[in-house]
Chain A
Amino acid sequence: MTIVDPMKPAVGSWTEHYPELGTGLVSYEDCTSPEFHELEREAVFKRAWLMVGRVEQLPRNGSYFTKELAVANTSVVIVRDLDGQVRAFHNICRHRGNKLVWNDFPREETSGTCRQFTCKYHGWRYGLDGACAFVQQESEFFGLDKADYGLVPVHSDVWEGFIFIHFAPRPSQTLTDFLGPMVRSVEGYPFHQHTERYGYRVEVRSNWKLFFDAFQEYYHTSILHANQAPALASKMRDAGFTGAYYELDGPHRLGATGGSRRDRTVSLDVLKPMERLTRSGLIGPWDGPDFSDTATGLNRAGFEKWTVSAFHLFPNTTILFRGAGWYLTYSYWPTSHNSHIFEGNLYFTPSRTARERVAHEMTRATHKEYGLQDCNTLEATQTMLESGVLSSFPLNDHEVLCRHLHKVVADWVEEYQHQRENG
């Protein structure tokens, strides 16, 4: 059957609309090579703005949280200082290098509230602006001036409540320049009202780009997840279900689909009893707030009925709107060439009633059922990519965003190597 796809660009395919992508086989050696991963750490993760959390995680002056970032071989403490400014520091004491902020287990992330950071080892203290405030037995040191021993800062900035850091000594772009017009078109969405958070953090034994790929195409949806909702999956396969809109802007990507979570009457027969009972499911609660009009970029494709817009921020963050009443984020933090920490957070406006809370619970639970299938499959992919039996693969037009991710990473690595070789 012919798939009617009125949104495809005039050139006939999404991929050819961006000729720099090419249409050839794509190499996945960037997911199996330890050498490439070492380059990627320097070329990508130390040269791009990285989203590390939300301002709601820092509710008061003095609130802080730590991020363990194996990809940069460091731990960072992010804090709202006593003047309310968000700051980031390498989590290391200036005295003899002890990790400054941790709790019970040095390698685990922590959070809390304080007025000063105090090192557990020799009691050096730092203001939340990073200045060294106290040196135990200071007179025993040799010509030591506390002013020279502040915490090592990491560049940080906040956009729409998302906290970003940058490891370069001098970032080549401001955060807003880096994000660009496509991502910035969601400015105005009331992220800050979404204080009901469901979060998880799991180590996955695959390269980080493999998980990113899984959320950049819908080609797999009616196959891998068929047993979640057999009637629905069968309809999707018959219709040749795909994403319906793709857009690239610099290193960032957008994938969007139409249809409406608020128009379920047409397809009640494919819904599960629990979805009908809770009036909720993977796409989100059917009722609840509608923030469609808060930002022009939520429905960039101009769908009459709009369901999903997934903004993939280079290098490792997704901000995903399903309908316009809630949102979720994904982050993929490499821990080696074949493993990463996957973090997911679902954000809703606070439930006012048990019924609303149960609708959120249904969405969260469905998300996990699908996510576990995605997670497990990645390990199956990683192990066989590592066999080296095959290294290049055909990607179809609805995998255009996967093609773009691997190309942008390769481009950044190439540019980094070029700069290194040419001073």
Chain B
Amino acid sequence: MGGALLPAEFTDLEPYAEKWCLPNEPARYAARLNSTMDELQAFYDAMFPRADAALDYCDQFPLTDMPEDALHLLQLMYALIIVSFAVEAFRQPRIPDTGAAELHFTIEPFP
């Protein structure tokens, strides 16, 4: 399993890991804007049903001392959250009527 980013139980999500395991909010938001709705929908459809299992897996570990593959899984959860607004509410990557606005979180906790 050379090069796997996620725990073995989550190999089904591996195709999404490289794109969506991102270190911070600005990177995740940029990834959403740079995706098509088909890409966002595919990730959402794959990840949403696995979310509870992903959280159960992550919660085996102390939050501040997670193995790297679990950390990647948590990052996929953060990505699912950001993608969900496009899929569940707007049906487009960008929030309607926000073309000129930017709002990047530059201060956030780790992980």
Contact = CB atoms under 8 A, between A and B. Distances in A.
Interface of A: 196-202, 204-205, 227-230, 272-274, 277-278, 344-345, 350-358, 361-362, 364-366, 368-369, 371-373, 375-377, 379
A198 B107 contact: yes
A357 B103 contact: no
A228 B89 contact: yes
B100 A379 contact: yes
A228 B89 CA distance: 6
A357 B98 CA distance: 27
Contacts of B102: 202, 372, 375
A333 to B, nearest CB: 15
B105 A273 contact: no
B81 A376 contact: no
Nearest to A205: B100
Main DSSP-derived SS at the A contact region: helix
Given A198-B108, A352-B63, A354-B59, A372 B103 contact: yes
Interface stretch (B4-12, B34-42, B72-80): B72-80
Is the interface on chain B under 10, 10 to 19, 20 to 34, or 35 or more residues? 35 or more
A16 B12 CA distance: 62
A73 B77 CA distance: 43
B99 to A, nearest CB: 7
A376 B77 contact: no
Contact of B104 (A202, A229, A274, A357): A202
A357 B107 contact: no
A350 B106 CA distance: 18
Contacts of A354: 55, 58-59, 63, 66, 74, 77
Nearest to A57: B107
Contacts of B82: 365
Nearest to A374: B101
B85 interface: yes
A200 B55 contact: no
Contacts of A227: 89-90, 95-96
Interface of B: 25, 29, 48, 51-52, 55, 58-59, 63, 66, 74, 77-78, 80-82, 84-85, 88-90, 95-109, 111
Contacts of A196: 109
Contact of B78 (A202, A229, A358, A369): A358
B88 A274 contact: yes
B82 to A, nearest CB: 6
Given A357-B74, A376-B97, A371 B59 contact: no
B97 A200 contact: no
B3 to A, nearest CB: 24
A277 B48 contact: yes
A199 B107 contact: yes
A196 to B, nearest CB: 5
B105 A199 contact: yes
> Chain A CB within 10 Å — which of B81, B98, B99, B102 has the most?
B81
The winner among B29, B74, B102 for most chain A CB atoms within 10 A is B102
Given A228-B85, A352-B63, A354-B63, 20 more contacts: A197-B107, A198-B109, A199-B107, A202-B103, A227-B90, A274-B48, A350-B109, A351-B109, A353-B59, A355-B59, A357-B74, A358-B74, A358-B77, A365-B81, A365-B85, A366-B85, A369-B95, A371-B103, A375-B102, A376-B97
Contacts of A356: 63
A60 B44 CA distance: 43
Contacts of A373: 95, 97-98, 101
A283 B104 CA distance: 20
17 contacts: A199-B106, A199-B108, A201-B106, A272-B84, A274-B84, A277-B52, A352-B63, A354-B58, A354-B59, A355-B59, A361-B78, A365-B85, A366-B85, A369-B85, A369-B89, A369-B95, A375-B101
A245 to B, nearest CB: 29
Contacts of B101: 202, 204, 372-373, 375-376, 379
B59 to A, nearest CB: 5
A199 B109 CA distance: 10
B105 A200 contact: yes
A366 to B, nearest CB: 8
A233 to B, nearest CB: 11
B105 A364 contact: yes
Contact of B98 (A197, A200, A375): A375
